Amino acid sequence: MAELRWNPMLKDWVMVASNRQDRPQMPKDWCPFCPGSGKVPDTYDVQEYDNDFPALSKEPSIPDSVGSEFYRTKEAYGKCEVILYSPEHTKTLSELPLPHVRKLVDLWCERFIELSKDSKVKYIFEFENRGAEVGVTMPHPHGQIYAYSEMPLKIKTELDSCREYYEENNECLICKMNKEEIEFKKRIVMENEDFLAYLPF
């Protein structure tokens, strides 16, 4: 069962997905994400794969009868996709050649655009978990895309802050933060003509 539960203290919806505890541990000598498994094409560069144990679904189940008028629940509508970086079982993202990474970025963009067409989807999150310590059951290098029916509180707060800062200062908040970091220099991890990555103040 997967559902959304209302947190009255944070005023946010929390995803509860008890169905994901039933995910199997894969045999050491077989991987569903490798060509020849029967689960993915025999040849691919990058590949979208619908999650077998999704926390969000286009046809969500009815929530468990554990809620109340105070502790509200609702269906966990959305979509969970797995993005396979490569057919090579041990090659991580940082080890892929640049033209291959470009194919991966193009797939992320393609899936983002497609998932955005659903009017019920309010936020799309692309991410990677790695290692058994965080619950990853598949060692084959991959990331995920979650399409949420509710915008997470942290994201909503950040957008509200950007709007308020602009209204008060007639200046973009992100641009101001970037300017501060460029002037300070010491928190910058990487900078090029397209990106600026830094540790938060």
User: Model confidence over 84-103: pLDDT tens digits?
Assistant: 999 999 899 999 999 999 99
Is 140 catalytic? The answer is no
Residues of the chain with pLDDT below 50 are none
Average pLDDT, rounded, for the chain: 92
Query: What CATH topology corresponds to 26-63+75-151?
Result: HIT family, subunit A (3.30.428)
Boundaries of every domain in the chain: 26-63+75-151, 156-198
Residue-level pLDDT at 182 = 97
Residue type, 163: R
- Residue 63 to residue 117: CA distance in whole angstroms: 25
DSSP 85-145: --S-TT--GGGS-HHHHHHHHHHHHHHHHHHHT-TT--EEEEE---SGGGT----S-EEEE
- Residue 58 to residue 171: CA distance in whole angstroms: 39
* 123 neighbors 149 (Cβ within 8 angstroms): no
Residue-level pLDDT at 27 = 64
The pTM for the full model equals 0.85
Residue 185's alpha-carbon distances to 31, 151, 173, 189, in angstroms, are: 44, 33, 18, 9
User: Model confidence over 104-136: pLDDT tens digits?
Assistant: 999 999 999 999 999 999 999 999 987 777 667
